[in-house]
Amino acid sequence: MELELDEFCRCLELPPSTVERWIRQGRIPVKRIGEKCHFSDSALKKWAEEHNLPYHPPGEEEAGDKQAEKPETLSEAIGRGGIYYDLPGETVEEVLSEAVSAMKGIESEEDRKTLYESLTARENMMSTGIGNGVAIPHPRTPLTQSNIEPQIAVCFLEKPVDFKAVDKKPVYVLFVLVASNSKQHLHLLSRLSYCLRDSSFLNFLSGIPAWETLVKKIVEFESRLNEG
């Protein structure tokens, strides 16, 4: 079977950066030729089951994606999730617990508990530390059964924490991403990744900008993305 990379990522509900890295490392039973991914549907399904990952064959619609929805912007998602400073914690679990407790876009304690457990389970499977002091904690699969609206909480830590990131640098800022379906998740993740791949944005971020300045910068980068 042959799919474009973005289609292949949707099948696995994984961000392109993760899929590309796993392909390079030979961890996924797939061969990439240009922007095309060549694989056996049955082999990939078996691999996903063995690694406790979701797999949706091409053309299979998820129930949560059937309803048309307006794509979220980063500024909307961050506005809902909030921006927080000096988040305490010595370990990954502690800072994730503090982040979930702080997030203003979650109403029930049950939803907070579900989110925290989902975030820690994802970290135990593989670090969400992407390098340059940044981590993007997110549930392994979208929280379709919760009442949490799509959001991103930006959390600047009181002191850097070892997330076992790819570049081994401690993390000083979290972008906690929550979505109710995979399409929404990949949409927000791709827009966030666009910002975090830019060295000028990373330099800006390292200065721990005030929330108004950060939101303004996000809007500026999204405008560039929309124009492109």
- Residues with catalytic annotation? 138
159 Rama sector, left if φ>0, alpha if ψ -120 to 50, beta otherwise = beta
| Residues 6+ away with beta carbon under 8 Å from 31 | 37, 38, 39
Distance CA 179, CA 107 (A): 15
Amino acid at 65: D
